[in-house]
Chains A and B, each alone.
Chain A
Amino acid sequence: MKLLSMAIAAVLINNIVLAKFLGVCPFLGVSKNSKSAIGMGLAVIFVIFSASMLTYGVQYLILKPLGIEYMQLISFILIIAAFVQFVEMFMKKNMPGLYASLGVYLPLITTNCTVLYVAQDNISKGYNLIETIVNSIATPLGFLVVMYLFSCIRERLDYATTPKPFKGNPIGLIVAGLMALAFAGLAGIA
């Protein structure tokens, strides 16, 4: 029950984009159509989950036993950056189909601060391995849900009669603000 509550909170209440305001760059940049939004969301789920597992292992098998926890931030940044490089290379060589659909989003994920946030959040909140797995899937799932909803709204906005100064990103930011208000109304569920 605690894990379910944690997952619901990560997806809806403490949403990474609308409550924490992280990952706003891909949220605005890759949400013009729903297909791109889903591709980006899936790539983020894969990278955040894998990077969180790696950083969890490094924290408890290397940093803590050696007493060099102060190296956490720089280590996590390097691990995430290196991991994305190897994933991209692996996909280029062995999974051309997957690379065609997700590969283009990988460089954008390297600069996505949500990856580092989730990795550090797992450690700072003292989650065990199961809780880390749940949090590392639920948090980017919240990103995917919000990206998809936002992209669907933006697709409809293309056909709406928006005043010229509000076209594009300005109306997108207003919609994002309204979505954040709507998601704030979900507080108290978990």
Chain B
Amino acid sequence: MIWAILLFAVLASLFGVGYYLNSKTPKPEGCKELTEDCEGCKITSCELNPSRKEKL
């Protein structure tokens, strides 16, 4: 049980650190206005979903 908790903690921290570092990393020149032609589906958690852009 302790190994399971430890593994979960390590992987969750890894994801948290990755997410934080990725959000802090600036996009390269010329890529700031990259847009996707996705029209959106029912997965509102997806970053490309138009509903998220409307909120921003």
* Chain A residues packing against B (C-beta within 8 Å): 25-26, 28-30, 32-33, 36, 62-63, 66-68, 70-71, 74-75, 78-79, 81-82, 85-86, 88-89, 92-93, 96, 99-100, 103-105, 107-108, 110-111, 168-169
Contacts and interface: CB of A to CB of B under 8 A. Distances in A.
A103 B30 CA distance: 12
A68 B8 CA distance: 11
Nearest to B28: A96
A88 B30 CA distance: 16
Contacts, number: 98
Contact of B22 (A26, A70, A85, A108): A85
> Main SS of chain A's interface residues?
helix
A100 B31 contact: yes
B26 A81 contact: no
B12 A78 contact: yes
> Main SS of chain B's interface residues?
loop
B21 A89 contact: yes
Contacts of B48: 29, 104, 107-108
Taking residues whose C-beta sits less than 8 angstroms from the other chain, chain B's interface range is 20 to 34
B14 A99 contact: no
B31 A105 contact: no
A107 B37 contact: no
A111 B28 contact: no
A32 B38 CA distance: 8
Nearest to B24: A89
Contacts of B11: 74-75, 78-79, 82
What 7 pairs across the A-B complex have the smallest Cβ distances?
Answer: A85-B18, A96-B28, A107-B47, A78-B11, A29-B38, A82-B15, A89-B22
B56 interface: no
Interface of B: 3-4, 7-8, 11-12, 14-15, 18-19, 21-22, 25-31, 34-43, 45-48
A150 to B, nearest CB: 14
A74 B18 CA distance: 17
A112 B41 CA distance: 12
A62 B4 CA distance: 10
